[in-house]
Amino acid sequence: MSTAKLTINLDALVTNWQNLNAMTNCETAAVVKANGYGLDAARVAKALATGGARNFFVAAAEEGVALRRALGPGPGISVFSGHMEGDTRLLKEFQLAPMLNSLDQMLRHFETLPGHTFGVQLDSGMNRLGMEPAEWAAVRDIALGQKPVLLMSHLACSDEPSHPMNAQQLQVFREMTDGLEVPRSLAATGGILLGRDYHFDLCRPGVGLYGGAPYGDALPVVQLDLPVIQTRDVEPGESVGYGNTWVAQAPSRIATVAAGYADGLHRTMMNHGIDLFAGKTRCPVVGRISMDLITVDITALSEVPASLTLLNEVQTVDHLATAAGTIGYEILTSMGHRYARTYQG
Ligand SMILES: *Cc1c(COP(=O)(O)O)cnc(C)c1O
């Protein structure tokens, strides 16, 4: 088989959730938007529900529908994009709680689904989603009269603990919500790590569950093994791959493995210290990453392995991200659709 194998360790995922939960005195939900950060929202959420999670967040109502089908009735499912035109039937039928983020959405929600569970998203300074302080002051009493289940906001710089924006947003969020006696949520993964002041009543980690920064103590959740399709020996002076960018300096054995930039393995990642692993032995990527193939120097190996490992406990999504000039979130969510996915635990 020439498809790469992505192994997802659900036990590690659940342990990450439990460890983050243990850092707080409040409820810990789980963010499973973008199909569970690319790892399959249904499987991820089922594992987390078994491990103790009672509330889940997605970006769009359609994602909530798929999640409700997987989880059945019971767990809370909230939608960050709120109540958009066309969402009404889905929100109702699949018991999804929109996190309303504008006056327009509020009016739509109270008119079409009176009495239906909702939360309110407040903008404490990120200028992305949610009501700003003046807008909130104007509509607050109307909103509170309809009994929101959550008041939430999102931090722009929580992956940088010393950034002054964190304290500033905390203060704005407090000013907008103190004394209202509605459960509150401010922290995603980064916010949990900022400490108790940021936790309020509910935390909403995403990336940390999947093993990514800024949760440095996360257990790795994914392993990626790329099958070796062919090997060849090259002489000094022979080149490998598009553009002849790599030229052998010594007699070398080259393995061609199946996966490439069409699988989310950014072409820009080459020459930035990304290796493939045969057990503990590092084998450097040589030449350009192409659409479906990567070439690897396996001269150091005494035998040709059936596959080489790109993601393991030593080389994580964050290492790949750094090499590609991006963040672990993007590596996870671009993980190839043609990988054969296997779930452990
Ligand atoms: C994506 C997202 C989260 C989860 O963030 P992580 O950094 O992945 O933990 C939480 N809240 C909101 C509003 C989000 O958009």
Question: In angstroms, rounded to a whole number, what is the distance separating the alpha carbons of residues 187 and 185?
Answer: 6
DSSP assignment letter at 218: P
Q: How far is CA 9 from the centre of its chain?
A: 15
Angle at 1 between CA 334 and CA 243, to 5 degrees: 60
Q: Which residues participate in catalysis according to the annotation?
A: 33, 242
205: Cβ below 6 Å to ligand 1? yes
207: Cβ below 6 Å to ligand 1? yes
**Average pLDDT of the residues in 176-197:** 98
Q: In which residue ranges of the chain is CATH 2.40.37.10 found?
A: 222-344
100 beta partners: 120
- The CATH topology of domain 222-344 is Lyase, Ornithine Decarboxylase; Chain A, domain 1 (2.40.37)
Q: Specify whether the CB–CB gap between 67 and 48 falls below 8 A.
A: no
Q: Specify whether the CB–CB gap between 142 and 174 falls below 8 A.
A: no
120 beta partners: 100, 151
Question: In angstroms, rounded to a whole number, what is the distance separating the alpha carbons of residues 147 and 88?
Answer: 18
124: Cβ below 6 Å to ligand 1? no
Test site for ligand 1: of 31, 101, 185, most ligand atoms within 8 A of the Cβ: 31
pLDDT digits (tens, 9 = 90+) for 7-21: 999 999 999 999 999
Q: Is the pLDDT of residue 176 over 90?
A: yes
Test site for ligand 1: of 37, 56, 57, most ligand atoms within 8 A of the Cβ: 57
The model carries a pTM of 0.97
pLDDT digits (tens, 9 = 90+) for 245-262: 999 999 999 999 999 999
The residue nearest atom 10 of ligand 1, judged by CA position, is: 188
| Helix, strand, coil fractions of the chain, as percent rounded to 5 | 35, 25, 40
* Ligand 1 atom having least distance to the Cα of 99: 13
Q: Specify whether the CB–CB gap between 339 and 6 falls below 8 A.
A: yes
pLDDT digits (tens, 9 = 90+) for 115-166: 999 999 999 999 999 999 999 999 999 999 999 999 999 999 999 999 999 9
DSSP track, 266-283: -GGGTTSS-EEEETTEEE
Confidence of residue 45 (pLDDT cuts 50, 70, 90): very high
pLDDT digits (tens, 9 = 90+) for 25-36: 999 999 999 999
Question: In angstroms, rounded to a whole number, what is the distance separating the alpha carbons of residues 265 and 176?
Answer: 43
Question: In angstroms, rounded to a whole number, what is the distance separating the alpha carbons of residues 136 and 132?
Answer: 6
pLDDT score at 270: 86
- Helix/strand/coil for 306: coil
Query: Residue 220: which of 228, 230, 209 has the closest Cα?
Result: 209
Question: In angstroms, rounded to a whole number, what is the distance separating the alpha carbons of residues 186 and 303?
Answer: 52
Q: How far is CA 260 from the centre of its chain?
A: 21
Q: Specify whether the CB–CB gap between 120 and 151 falls below 8 A.
A: yes
pLDDT score at 244: 97
State the number of CA atoms in the 13 A half-sphere of 121 facing the CB. Answer: 24
Task: State the average pLDDT for the chain.
Answer: 97
Please give the helix or strand (H or E) that residue 138 lies within, else none: helix 133-145
Confidence of residue 271 (pLDDT cuts 50, 70, 90): confident
Superfamily of domain 10-210: Alanine racemase (3.20.20.10)
188: Cβ below 6 Å to ligand 1? yes
Q: How far is CA 137 from the centre of its chain?
A: 33
pLDDT digits (tens, 9 = 90+) for 83-124: 999 999 999 999 999 999 999 999 999 999 999 999 999 999
Q: How far is CA 47 from the centre of its chain?
A: 16
pLDDT score at 2: 84
Question: In angstroms, rounded to a whole number, what is the distance separating the alpha carbons of residues 206 and 83?
Answer: 22
Q: In which residue ranges of the chain is CATH 3.20.20.10 found?
A: 10-210
Q: Is the pLDDT of residue 1 over 90?
A: no
Query: Residue 173: which of 203, 145, 206, 131 has the closest Cα?
Result: 131
